Structure 1
């Protein structure tokens, strides 16, 4: 498995950083050094310097994050519908104050300043009223950003972020958009004094907080804890062909190797490698097992995924089943006719690449959903 893992890393990062020699891996003889270098390179593919600490996680991932992961990814983590997720990163944060009062504060230190905040939501779980409120059917719930008037010229103690009517007698999650506050906290972390929630009657008077209650981190089950969800984009972009339509296990990611329909040219090279002749260009399995790599302590889903790889020959003449580019077709002709010395046959490479999604715990035990482009070879062709 280590061999296939190392092969995956080499394929995923074929061009080494400029500070490393081209023969970095070949120059290392110690298997442990090879493994360490390979895992370091894989971390770079996943945009990390070091793997998050593998805590003995006392908290389960929020159901919202699990549901979101299952919406955007299939059982193997492969993206089901591209562009369904806003940005490429979703982070969840639990309230750090654990206060019985309606004030909340979230530690955003794990969000890189280079990430662009697209949307931020405050998720509060509304409990059933402890008292009967026959005269009230709706209440006005407002979320404010808190300010420190002593550290700036701002004379405001609080600023309204979101306000709407909420049914009094219902129970369940209520979501409020607070994007402006999170963006301001990211530009100045010292301004993060948290949020305050108020509940008033339609007439504007303060309501009894025993009647209208939201779950707190101190007194209620973790599945109902106040939570901040932040959608960001870390600036990574796809460098190759990502399918823009719907991807399914049967259409976008065929299970059978893409050997194409049988033809005279394909049959002429369809011998086993034991006989010394390469198979025609096709897609073959390449499973990346996160447990074997040592990452199972912080990755929630998937446990591993099939990256696939492309292998085989691109013999002359190239049929359409080989999905050749015009350039590859011309190159194969030049090679076959021996018109120019040293011209090789076209290469068998991924023709489509799909993204995968990773659900994991970060160093602060926040749960993160991150989407990575160009991680699965969806089909192969001669280029």
Structure 2
């Protein structure tokens, strides 16, 4: 899979450079001579969308909704400013989706439309996020009698009977301090698995009881709703999934800070080859090293639906792999042997080793999908961390 991903990204890069510095006829790898520049651009963008696992970009040109703070905080925890993954073990799966409640009812009945979840996504964990508001006590004696309330979360089996035991199934329950405010999170993974059949999705019901079993005053135990409160406090379903799009290369996906900011140093030649190395560089034939390759989402036309990052540095590897290969070129044993055979001219048609990435890092995108839900997605093998002769 990594070969397809890097190939498609490379084809897009060829397109970008072709528009600015190369004639169209040099783009024959992705288009026939009969195709015009607009067709080439369309094909290049289609292939780049494929790299990111998106069939079509969202139809709206710019987002006006505020992304959930939870998703922004999660992105900042997982990724650096360029979207590169800080630690590949921080995220469960490779996709996090957020959904807002579609019912906006006066009661604690929530419905989430999961139609944007693809069929190949494996659901790992589902969480219901509710924002508990500060109480507005009308009877302070309630605080003296009860310091906690019990919140129960149910899967609705029949929305016409959801307040009866036969119309619902309990998913989770927790005790919450009455005087507290802030986000409360409940596991509802079982419910989402049930919703694989869309007809079974009749929502989630939340009930609140005091420890005596009674229903507390509505002014004391309150939750924010999408109907009456700011969108930053709307009830939200957070879904952790894995779409199976994993890189097949066993290179480390954990970046080193130095490698992310400083390209590979040029090949350090042996003392008796210093003059040759200098001559190669003077002729424009530099040894293998990493070079910047910035992918600008605004220039591509995607800034309207991608929240973060604005773009990222994919880097690319370019240069010669001259004999003998030094250790700082991190050559494989195969590359070393190939270099020797090439130098001795023992076999016809054997080229010198190629300058390619020998470490690849993943990046993360935070974006709006077609239903204006916010998605955090991690993509393997997107940044060349370092280069070597292979």
**Fold similarity call, TM over 0.5:** yes
Correspondence 1:137 to 2:147: yes
Secondary structure of 2:260 counterpart? coil
Judge which range, 196-205 or 373-382, deviates more.
Answer: 196-205
The offset of 1:23, in angstroms, is 5.7
- Find the aligned partners of 2:251 and 2:150 in 1 and give their Cα distance: 45
Q: 1:55 to 1:364 in 2, by over 3 A?
A: farther
TM-superposition CA deviations, 1:108-164 (whole Å, max 9, x none)? 00001221100000000000111133221101001001012899xxx9300001101
Aligned to 1:52: 58
- Find the aligned partners of 2:187 and 2:8 in 1 and give their Cα distance: 44
Correspondence 1:219 to 2:228: yes
Contact 1:9 1:38 in 2 (8 A): no
The offset of 1:84, in angstroms, is 1.0
Contact 2:67 2:374 in 1 (8 A): yes
Unaligned 5+ segments in structure 1 are 14-21
Q: 1:271 to 1:138 in 2, by over 3 A?
A: farther
Secondary structure of 2:72 counterpart? helix
The 5 Å alignment of 1:133-172 reads 133-134=142-143, 135-148=145-158, 156-172=166-182
Unaligned 5+ segments in structure 2 are 1-5, 15-26
Q: 1:271 to 1:62 in 2, by over 3 A?
A: farther
The offset of 1:101, in angstroms, is 1.0
Aligned to 1:286: 293
CA RMSD of aligned residues (A): 2.4
Q: Which of these residues, 230, 241, 261, is aligned with residue 239 of structure 2?
A: 230
Secondary structure of 2:257 counterpart? coil
Aligned to 2:355: 348
Q: 1:226 to 1:376 in 2, by over 3 A?
A: same
Secondary structure of 2:180 counterpart? coil
Aligned to 1:358: 365
**Equivalent pairs, count:** 364
The offset of 1:276, in angstroms, is 3.9
Aligned to 2:374: 367
The offset of 1:299, in angstroms, is 0.2
The 5 Å alignment of 1:194-343 reads 194-243=203-252, 246-250=254-258, 252-261=259-268, 263-264=270-271, 265=273, 268-271=276-279, 276-343=283-350
Length-normalised TM-score, structure 2 = 0.88
Q: Which of these residues, 165, 185, 195, is aligned with residue 175 of structure 1?
A: 185
Contact 1:270 1:280 in 2 (8 A): no
Q: 1:44 to 1:266 in 2, by over 3 A?
A: farther
Aligned to 1:191: 200
The offset of 1:315, in angstroms, is 0.5
Length-normalised TM-score, structure 1 = 0.89
Q: 1:8 to 1:112 in 2, by over 3 A?
A: closer
Aligned to 1:118: 124
- Find the aligned partners of 2:38 and 2:382 in 1 and give their Cα distance: 25
Contact 1:8 1:286 in 2 (8 A): no
The offset of 1:333, in angstroms, is 0.4
Contact 2:12 2:44 in 1 (8 A): no
TM-superposition CA deviations, 1:14-49 (whole Å, max 9, x none)? xxxxxxxx9651524422221111111111111112
- Find the aligned partners of 2:268 and 2:28 in 1 and give their Cα distance: 39
The offset of 1:268, in angstroms, is 2.1
